Each structure stands twice: as structure tokens, then as C-alpha cells.
């Protein structure tokens, strides 16, 4: 499964450094505790596993049973391959031993052990849509993680597939990093609140809702609102939905600060170069031109560099459970 162009969120450095630090801060403790209370799990599935941060979190937090199995899947083959480096770093820092072996169609297959504990990790290059027919994955998972995955897929189609792989009573844990409209605060000096809102709406339309790059189908900025409704319709029980804000401040790590500057720059470049008919129409409707974008960029960057700049948007953590006694669809 080869991808020609990668989306920015498929770059391992972004996932391991920026996104991990963000998740460590915003993942809701209450829902995490609920997931923990039902542990240990013998079989965990990590959808859209990326650089593997959630798999490592599951092990660090003792969620996986001794001799348990964790399967990670992702459409990004190169990302899976390079996650080996992240696992090795983590193992070194935490005294785990890793033993890699070759195994049928898995991109990486390895055992993690420390003292009397061990578990097996298998990473497959497969899309969530194809899991049902991908025999090596199997079924009977008692925990499925999907960190920032569903906003990049057809939600209903993917949840239907996943439901068939879950045990009765199993949890689906789906924190959605991005829900709603981004705001860059404080407000850029030369812009009114209305102009700022329009600019962020444009960003939403152009960058978030049209992420059809890198073999990834969708960008759905309201996934966190839509997903629970779809899940309910499919017979899942909603265990909890929690909002939190993510923010980058002058206390953030150097990597996050650099990434934030790149992010502001990317917004500027993308918004300025958005010039097809549809995009121009939206720009016109929102009364946005290049000068306005430039001026927003200069001011947002200045605010950030002076130490007060903060970027935030809403993270929505969702925990749902496959109801006991609900049969699988065929």
C-alpha cells in the first residue's frame, strides 16, 4: 500500500514529538481511568497507529495483560517502518527488551519484555476498511484505540468494520484531537474578532475539511460531534464524552514551539494559495484577501514570539462500549 504524498500528521516526528506531548496534556483522566479499570486486556487493536505512541502508553500504563497481543494498523507503510526507531528509543529509556522476528505480512513483529512481563506487538499496513477481510488481524479484541483516526475516514463505514472485531462489552476509545474551529489567540493586533473568525473558518474549510492527501479519505472538523451519534445508531453505549483545549505556550517544548511557527506559516501559505473557483468564492464571502492573511500572520507570530501566543482548539475524547448481547453484522 504505497502513498505518494503524505499528510503532515503522518510524519513520525510530528506524531512522536508534537502530538504525543499534546495528548499527554489533554487526554481526559476520567475516561482514561475507566479504560484502566477494565484492564488488563488480552488483545488490543490500535487503529491508525502512526508512530505507536498509544501502544507504548498502553504498555507503560499496564493495560495489556502478560503474554497479551497488541495489533497496530495504519495505511502509512513508511510510518510503520520508521516507528521501529521510536520503539527502540522507548525500550532503551524504560529498560524493555525488544526481540524482532519476521512474521508473514506484518511490517514489524516483536516481543516486548521486562522482568516477568512480556507481550507481542504486530504492525500491519492495512486500512481500517479492509480489516474484516484481513485474516492475520483476527477478532475478539477487548480494547480498540483510535486516536485521531476517525476524522480521517468515513466514520460510519469504519466503525461498522471495527464493531465486528470487538468482543461483547469491549471498549472503543477514540480521542479526537481536532473538533470545531481553530483559534489563534491572542487576537492578531490589526484584526477585528469577526475578521479573525472568518479567517479561521476559511482555514477549517480549506485545510481541515479537505485533507484528501496521502491516501487518507477525509478531513472532518466535526468528527467528535458526529461520531457518538453514529455509534449510538449502531448500538454502542456511550460511556463518556469529554472536551478539553490544547494549547501551545512559551512553556512548550522547543520542538512544539518550532512546529507552531511552521504551523502558522503553513496556514498563511495554504490560505494565500487557495485560488480555485470554489475557494475564491469562500474567500470573497468571508471578505478575506492576501493582505489580511499576511497581516494576521505577522501579528500571530509576533504575539507568539513575545511569549503570549497560544494556539488552541477543542480536543474531544470519546469512550464507547459494544453493548453486551448485540450481535455482529455480517
Ligand X SMILES: C[S@@+](CC[C@H](N)C(=O)[O-])C[C@H]1O[C@@H](n2cnc3c(N)ncnc32)[C@H](O)[C@@H]1O
Is residue 180 a contact point for ligand X (CB under 6 A)?
Answer: no
Is there a cis peptide before residue 186, judged by omega within 30 degrees of 0? yes
Is residue 303 a contact point for ligand X (CB under 6 A)?
Answer: no
Is residue 9 a contact point for ligand X (CB under 6 A)?
Answer: yes
Burial 231-246 (b: 16+ CB within 10 A, else e): beebebeeebbbebeb
Q: Which of 184, 216, 274, 292 is in the footprint of ligand X by CB under 6 A?
A: 216
Q: Which of 11, 45, 55, 74 is in the footprint of ligand X by CB under 6 A?
A: 74
Is residue 15 a contact point for ligand X (CB under 6 A)?
Answer: yes
Only one of the segments 9-17, 86-94, 237-245, 314-322 lies at the binding site for ligand X (rule: CB under 6 A); that segment is 9-17
Q: What are phi and psi of 55, to 5 degrees?
A: -65, -45
Is residue 75 a contact point for ligand X (CB under 6 A)?
Answer: yes
Is residue 219 a contact point for ligand X (CB under 6 A)?
Answer: no
| Residue (100 or 134) nearer to ligand X, CB | 134
Is residue 211 a contact point for ligand X (CB under 6 A)?
Answer: no
| Residue (117 or 218) nearer to ligand X, CB | 218
Only one of the segments 67-75, 95-103, 162-170, 278-286 lies at the binding site for ligand X (rule: CB under 6 A); that segment is 67-75
| Residue (93 or 116) nearer to ligand X, CB | 93
Q: How far is the CB of 276 from ligand X (least distance, A)?
A: 24
158, 129 Cβ separation under 8 angstroms? yes
| Residue (106 or 288) nearer to ligand X, CB | 106
Q: How far is the CB of 288 from ligand X (least distance, A)?
A: 27
Residues 95-154 that bind ligand X (CB under 6 A): 127-129, 147-149, 152-153
| Site size with ligand X, rule: CB under 6 A | 23
Is residue 80 a contact point for ligand X (CB under 6 A)?
Answer: no
Residues 16-35 that bind ligand X (CB under 6 A): 19
16, 51 Cβ separation under 8 angstroms? yes
Q: How far is the CB of 327 from ligand X (least distance, A)?
A: 25
Is residue 268 a contact point for ligand X (CB under 6 A)?
Answer: no
Q: How far is the CB of 11 from ligand X (least distance, A)?
A: 9
Kindly list the residues in this chain that would bind ligand X in the complex (CB under 6 A). 9-10, 15, 19, 48-50, 53-54, 73-76, 79, 127-129, 147-149, 152-153, 216
Amino acid at each position: 500500500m504505497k502513498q505518494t504524498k503524505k499528510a503532515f500528521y503522518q510524519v513520525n516526528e510530528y506524531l512522536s514529538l508534537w502530538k504525543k506531548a499534546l495528548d499527554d496534556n489533554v487526554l481526559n483522566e476520567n475516561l482514561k481511568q475507566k479504560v484502566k479499570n477494565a484492564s488488563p486486556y488480552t488483545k488490543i487493536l490500535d487503529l491508525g497507529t502512526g508512530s505507536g505512541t498509544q501502544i507504548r502508553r498502553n504498555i507503560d500504563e499496564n493495560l495489556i495483560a502478560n503474554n497479551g497481543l497488541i495489533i497496530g494498523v495504519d495505511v502509512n507503510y513508511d510510518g510503520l517502518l520508521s516507528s521501529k526507531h521510536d520503539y527502540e528509543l522507548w525500550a532503551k529509556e524504560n529498560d524493555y527488551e525488544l526481540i524482532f522476528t519476521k512474521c508473514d505480512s506484518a511490517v514489524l513483529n516483536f516481543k516486548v519484555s521486562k522482568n516477568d512481563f512480556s507481550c507481542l506487538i504486530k504492525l500491519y499496513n492495512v486500512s481500517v476498511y479492509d480489516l474484516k477481510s484481513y485474516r492475520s488481524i483476527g477478532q475478539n479484541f477487548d480494547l480498540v484505540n483510535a486516536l485521531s483516526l476517525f476524522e480521517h475516514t468515513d466514520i460510519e463505514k469504519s466503525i461498522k468494520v471495527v464493531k465486528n472485531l470487538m468482543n461483547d462489552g469491549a471498549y472503543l476509545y477514540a480521542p479526537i484531537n481536532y473538533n470545531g474551529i481553530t483559534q489563534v489567540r491572542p487576537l492578531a493586533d490589526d484584526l477585528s474578532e469577526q475578521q479573525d473568525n472568518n479567517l479561521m473558518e476559511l482555514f477549517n474549510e480549506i485545510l481541515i475539511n479537505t485533507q484528501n492527501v496521502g491516501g487518507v479519505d477525509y478531513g472532518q472538523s466535526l468528527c467528535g460531534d458526529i461520531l457518538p451519534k453514529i455509534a449510538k445508531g449502531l448500538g454502542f453505549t456511550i460511556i463518556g464524552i469529554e472536551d478539553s483545549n490544547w494549547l501551545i505556550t512559551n512553556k512548550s517544548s522547543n520542538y512544539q514551539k518550532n512546529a507552531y511557527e511552521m504551523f502558522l506559516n503553513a496556514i498563511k501559505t495554504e490560505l494565500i494559495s487557495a485560488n480555485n473557483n470554489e475557494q475564491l468564492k469562500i474567500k470573497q464571502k468571508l471578505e478575506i484577501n492576501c493582505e489580511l492573511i499576511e497581516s494576521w500572520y505577522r501579528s500571530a507570530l509576533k504575539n507568539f514570539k513575545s511569549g503570549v501566543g497560544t494556539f488552541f482548539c477543542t480536543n474531544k475524547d470519546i469512550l464507547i462500549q459494544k453493548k453486551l448481547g448485540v450481535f455482529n453484522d455480517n
